[in-house]
Each structure stands twice: as C-alpha cells, then as structure tokens.
Chain A
C-alpha cells in the first residue's frame, strides 16, 4: 500500500457519459498529480495541484477537469466520454511541487464502451 488511495479501481461506462475519479494523497503530501496511461503507452501528465491551487497543466482535454479540495483529496472529472478515453488513470502525490518524489496510487482503470 503506497498510501495514495484511488477509487474506483475499475469503471465501465458508455460513450457520452461522465465519470469522477477520486484520489486521496499520502498523509502529509500537499501536491496531487493526475496521469493518463493508455495501453502500452507512457504516462501522460494531465494536471497538478498544490494545496488546493492548480499548479501545472499538461495535455488535459477540455472535456476533463479536476480540483483539489481543502482536505487535499482530488477529483478528476471526465465528461462526454469517448472510446479513446479508455485508459488507466493514475494519481500521484508529493510533499510539495518541484524536485520531489511522486508516490503513485494503484490507478483507476476506465473502460468506455
């Protein structure tokens, strides 16, 4: 157990639907990162939050949004889902942004049918 909790572990939904993925960072970590990993692909950086504020943005689609709440947990919202959104979504956390080690959660596997 890495200390980063992601729910749900698996999610199957249909095209056009909306889902929310949730992440609780490791105790003491203030920064949360979201990554997307498609089949046999690398880790695509989506977005980063630090202490509730958006810190950095990657190749996140406009259909996707995220936020970090006062208790530091984060949610990634994916809407108008397409088949190509099927992927493993990882949340990671670190003490602070910058030169810090990331601790990854086990991931949420999204399948869009």
Chain B
C-alpha cells in the first residue's frame, strides 16, 4: 500500500540554526500537506502543495513539492523556540485518503 516516509525522526538544533525535514512517498501524490503538532497538542494544518515543483513560503518556513510529486521538504530558517514540535507531512491520493509520515520532532535549544 501507499507509504509516506519522513526523515529525520528527531532533530535538535541551537536557536538560530536552520532545520529541514524530508518526506518521500512510494507512489505519486495528488497533493501534499504539512501539519505541526505542538507538545501535548493536536496537529494543525500549515500548508498544502498541489503542483509539481511548487514552492511556497510562510515567513521563515519554505515548503517544496518535488517535480515527480513523490517528495517534499519543509525548511525553517533561523529556528526559534516557538518552532518546537512535531512536523508531519501527509500525502493525498485521488481516493481522498491522506497518509501521514511518521513526523519529525524538532527540539530547539535557546
């Protein structure tokens, strides 16, 4: 079945350093979504990418969707302590099923 792999599983950075998480699907996706889950919280939608090669920015966050629509990345520039949490990618298929990656947990040392 469809699988979405996300790496790394954990990342510890010093405040001010950059951070990147990568997402790879075993099948071509119709779209990819990114969610953030703060410690003790629930996943909250960040962004959706639909087009091949699409790049979107939200302040210090940059999201990319691969040309083959099978991979994606989230890059955070100059991390802050408020960036702490687990970042999930979720691959969407034409059937409507949304498969989440395992998530990357980000710790930021002040």
For residue B99, which residue of chain A has the nearest CB? A45
**Could you tell me if A56 and B103 are in contact, using CB atoms closer than 8 angstroms?**
no
**Could you tell me if B45 and A101 are in contact, using CB atoms closer than 8 angstroms?**
yes
Interface string of A90-107 (1 = CB under 8 A from B): 101000011101111111
Q: For residue B30, which residues in chain A have a CB less than 8 angstroms away from its CB?
A: 98-99
Measured CB to CB, the closest approach of chain B to A44, in angstroms, equals 8
Q: A33 vs B92: C-alpha distance in the bound complex, in angstroms?
A: 13
| Tally of B interface residues using CB under 8 Å | 25
Q: For residue B99, which residues in chain A have a CB less than 8 angstroms away from its CB?
A: 45, 58
| Tally of A interface residues using CB under 8 Å | 26
**Could you tell me if A48 and B97 are in contact, using CB atoms closer than 8 angstroms?**
yes
Interface string of A55-77 (1 = CB under 8 A from B): 11010000000000000000000
A residues neighboring B (CB under 8 Å):
2, 31, 33, 35, 41-45, 48, 50, 55-56, 58, 90, 92, 97-99, 101-107
B residues neighboring A (CB under 8 Å):
6, 30-31, 33, 35, 41-45, 48, 50, 88, 90, 92, 94-103
